[in-house]
Chains A and B, each alone.
Chain A
């Protein structure tokens, strides 16, 4: 690498057919004035391995997993869908403050995560519960975070569904949309530099998930451009599910989805059927290999799907879309059903196994749910900690002020449900 831009040494040759302006070095001259329109180009195709009946349509496809491994990933998808149902209801009963389901997007999250190495680093938006499940998040890990109890690694500070895990290399989710995307580029650059400094480290990539709505943020633009110019080994995975809360894609963009933009940044891009577990898995597997080629580069995957559920527990989506549209998607093209059909054709799954799997999963989640709900809240002290590496004198002082206030007005607050009560506020 050189610190001087090669473009500064370009010059226009006499009688050349191509422009050699520094900004576009391979552009041929034309004597016809013609504006390019998106209509001149067909929409990018959607890669599919298995059709809606579970029949393999990509003849070159060979499953790269054992039957037992496929069953395990299928169970991960089922787990997420059942967790969603239970937690959505729990929020409706007032037992959780908030919840977001990922119905319809289980294949996308589980399928893509299943080809990443455990040491690969992941940034999520918030509808990627399947990523956490596939990588080893336990039932207790999910429910402790949802209840923000003393076992929640986020120490009760974040809204439900804002999961994170050090061991699983998944950064903690934050609510501001698309902020994780340039961070993913920077993290990928860090991984690349760390391997340059220490060749014994394994090659690693970063995977960053986001919705098609978030792709309208400036951070999306910044992230892809920076990843391309700095050659960062990062896989951008867009969940294009048709809606950003109430906003349909027609109000979100007028180009050919998100995929068409990748090419504009010089990023190799593919569009896949997000309801096809195998298509997502194959595309991500190829993307990971590409991201590590030639010292690293970004790859963009746009996975097409449909948000079957409400945006969140604070949203009633029938206020802006027809119930029948949603029912059609549920019935006609469900990612879980599609993989189940493939498994049944292969003879590794049947109704009895399905029934047992669902019953056991439900029982397991409910058991963990009751335990998490009964746990104490984190110590009140946790609200002052981790703002800085060390407590500042101001924060120690404010902690003391709060403790004195609680002692003066003991009946105005219930601190009994917090670990160590008000005593945790001792400096």
Chain B
């Protein structure tokens, strides 16, 4: 039953992502749309947002890129193309890299593995039977024998059959082997995550906080094509097992200039996207675009400045960057799409109040703007995700406290 439903739903999700959605044109749809008179909850315009590098020089100006890459060229890519570029780079550079999962051979249901099987051969890029626990166990075994498998779970919503392998095996392999020295460190698991407008219960989930409770795993969520390429290459080269979650709504929507040379971006390092002095907003993945829209409105209205931080790696996460920002601003909110209960926001808020220097500088309680504590219902998605209006309102509440 699950598969019948999910396959029809997968078809429903994939084609809508095939053409970049012109969200400014409001057509009558039976699923999530925006209110006609909305001032805050207007569609994100990915073609103008300052979070994406629309010009080559913007992309190449990042201080995190090595000089050789900064002197190189860029190419316009969307998120799935950047993932594809990173996978192709990894396959080309290291014969121990393997790419597999359900339907990856023809290019993947989201096109992330396009042409890879043709280029690198069916031995290295291949379909597996439809078994998430099998995919994960197979990948762990290959990693423990020295390969660098990049396994795909078709939707993060379907990772649960593989949970035992991830939690009890991948995460604990190095620990239990001790001086025998084997590990599942070569393992990277990719999975599309997050809401997509009409994904309902099983094509919308963001289970990152379930992985952050597991010592031994690294959990990474990129926000853009440029970031996805650098972070994915870091994950593949990392000697710790990495869970790499890709916001599927950005696969086609987020387009930017991406350096053509290979490069990595640091894991467990947050990025300050916008400097500010009055309040800190911490987020990751797609909600960062909502945060940016909300911040621009608040700054314009109140003449204040907001600091925006992209966590990038959700665990082990960059506490020092967050602490330094909150010590400066004294006010903070954490924004994520996953349910608020025991989510990333709980961990970040607890850590902030636990650090004596940061606690003393707090001038308002740490706010969490997140999904309600419910599954993701089809017809109510717009009331569930942390949208611009909710972020905007919470920034004001934190400021007014």
Contacts and interface: CB of A to CB of B under 8 A. Distances in A.
Is the A/B pair a real complex? yes
A229 B149 CA distance: 17
Select the residue from B117, B125, B137, B169 with max chain A CB neighbours within 10 A: B137
Contact of B128 (A190, A191, A226, A389): A226
B237 to A, nearest CB: 12
B364 interface: no
Interface string B129-173: 101011111111111111101000000000001001100110010
Contact of B95 (A174, A184, A185, A197): A197
Contacts of A382: 178
Given A189-B138, A190-B146, A388-B216, A226 B131 contact: yes
A186 B141 contact: yes
A172 B177 contact: yes
Select the residue from B142, B178, B179 with max chain A CB neighbours within 10 A: B178
Contacts of A189: 98, 138, 141-142
Contact of A166 (B138, B145, B182): B182
A171 interface: yes
Nearest to A232: B138
Nearest to A181: B137
A1 B161 contact: no
Contacts, number: 173
Nearest to B106: A3
A274 interface: no
A267 B172 CA distance: 31
Contact of B142 (A2, A3, A153, A190): A190
B169 A218 contact: no
B240 interface: yes
A176 B216 contact: no
B265 to A, nearest CB: 18
Contacts of B356: none
B199 interface: no
B123 interface: yes
A221 B129 CA distance: 11
Contacts of B215: 387
Interface residues of B, number: 58
A22 B345 CA distance: 49
A117 to B, nearest CB: 15
A193 interface: yes
A187 B144 contact: yes
Nearest to B122: A1
A172 B128 contact: no
A162 interface: yes
Contacts of B117: 3
Interface in A160-177: 162, 164-166, 171-172, 174, 176
A2 B145 contact: no
B176 interface: yes
A172 B182 contact: yes
B31 interface: no
Contact of A179 (B124, B135, B169): B169
Nearest to B125: A3
B66 interface: no
A179 B137 contact: yes
Select the residue from B117, B131, B183 with max chain A CB neighbours within 10 A: B131
Contact of A393 (B118, B146, B319): B319
Interface in B186-217: 215-216
B176 A154 contact: yes
Contacts of A387: 174-175, 215-216
Contact of B129 (A158, A219, A226): A226
Contacts of A225: 129, 131, 134
A186 B137 contact: yes
A183 interface: yes
B138 A226 contact: yes
Nearest to B169: A179
A182 B141 contact: yes
B169 A222 contact: no
Given A193-B98, A230-B126, A388-B240, A183 B181 contact: no
B141 A176 contact: no
A386 B128 contact: no
A166 B181 contact: yes
Nearest to A167: B180
A362 interface: no
A326 to B, nearest CB: 32
Select the residue from B96, B139, B141, B172 with max chain A CB neighbours within 10 A: B141
B371 interface: no
Contacts of B358: none
Nearest to B134: A222
A172 B121 CA distance: 33
18 contacts: A3-B126, A166-B180, A172-B176, A182-B141, A183-B169, A185-B134, A186-B140, A189-B138, A194-B145, A194-B147, A218-B133, A219-B134, A222-B134, A222-B138, A382-B178, A388-B174, A388-B218, A389-B183
Closest 5 CB pairs of A and B: A182-B137, A222-B134, A186-B141, A183-B141, A186-B138
Given A3-B118, A186-B138, A186-B141, 18 more contacts: A1-B123, A3-B105, A154-B178, A164-B178, A179-B137, A183-B141, A185-B134, A185-B138, A189-B98, A189-B142, A190-B145, A206-B141, A218-B131, A219-B134, A225-B129, A226-B128, A388-B218, A388-B240
Interface of A: 1-3, 121, 123, 152-155, 157-158, 162, 164-166, 171-172, 174, 176, 179, 181-191, 193-194, 196-197, 206, 218-219, 221-223, 225-226, 229-230, 382, 386-389, 392-394
Interface of B: 95-96, 98, 105-106, 117-118, 121-126, 128-129, 131, 133-147, 149, 161, 164-165, 168-169, 172, 174-183, 185, 215-216, 218, 239-240, 268, 316, 319-320
